[in-house]
Structure 1
């Protein structure tokens, strides 16, 4: 039986935010929070009197504003992960996060972005935008690299088939998958190297609607960010 509590916080929206809690200590970790939803995360923590110790962004998000900095600032938690110039605690291959008595392994999985990370627990993996359900993260946005993505995916699919997969996005209302299911059904995982490279390096016309805004906000250095007035969605809650 797993020794932690696990919950998705965004109610099935395409952007997924995960809460991991140590039942014994009530310490908590939130992964990939969305800025506009920070008030709801605070309410969730308060409901069960959880102590947020870590907030992790698995990569530099290009489609929404990260709530990582604000959530950490408002709770005293440590903001970790990516981007390196923004977070208080950069994460690297082989790091282990401790949330109470829960241990979470960090993998570097570049490809979707150069700073992409995956978080592995005892029975599941939080795949960020590296591996999605039935797809993979695109590699045509800033710092993306198709070859790195291919090798990161090969590493992920080497996990046991019953490993649960929880991505940072899903556009079909699905909540999770497994490594075994993705091996069998994910079209991109069934491509050989050459075909995968052709597909992932073909330019795509559509870009995330908030690309410029998201990248500007999410990559703002920590010192500069502290001099800016925060967006209304957060300051109105204070």
Structure 2
């Protein structure tokens, strides 16, 4: 599967959300999902035949901005966040250089 990243914009918060697909797999990650669009983003994944494996946060977002929790519940994805940013509920705490 050779998909280009899907980039989506939330104009209210000026936040870009990006869906990235793994090579030779149907697994995907979503970066910085925005709460008002928790229903839109799974639609894009389904449309191109992807399964959400991780929800990535580039930095700590306020609860009213991120839809990470909802996407984790709906899709069984794991949350991955920068280590030390204070999001202890995330399954993966990332460090510089992690792949």
Could you tell me the TM-score, scaled by structure 1's length?
A: 0.36
Greater per-residue strand proportion: 2
> Structure 1 residue 7 and structure 2 residue 22: aligned?
no
Q: 1:89 aligns with which of 88, 92, 96?
A: 92
Following superposition, the deviation at residue 37 of structure 1 comes to 0.4
Give distance in 2, aligned partners of 1:63 and 1:69.
Answer: 9
Give distance in 1, aligned partners of 2:33 and 2:65.
Answer: 9
Quickly say closer, same or farther: Cα 1:63–1:71, change in 2 above 3 A: closer
Greater per-residue helix proportion: 1
What stretches of structure 1 move > 2 A for 4+ residues in a row?
62-65
Give distance in 2, aligned partners of 1:90 and 1:63.
Answer: 18
Question: Gaps (5+ residues) in structure 1?
Answer: 97-238
Give distance in 2, aligned partners of 1:43 and 1:80.
Answer: 21
Residues 60 and 87 of structure 2 are in contact (CA less than 8 Å); yes or no, is this contact kept in structure 1?
no
Following superposition, the deviation at residue 68 of structure 1 comes to 0.9
SS at the partner of 1:5? coil
Following superposition, the deviation at residue 89 of structure 1 comes to 1.0
Residues 5 and 22 of structure 1 are in contact (CA less than 8 Å); yes or no, is this contact kept in structure 2?
no
Residues 38 and 71 of structure 1 are in contact (CA less than 8 Å); yes or no, is this contact kept in structure 2?
yes
Question: Gaps (5+ residues) in structure 2?
Answer: none
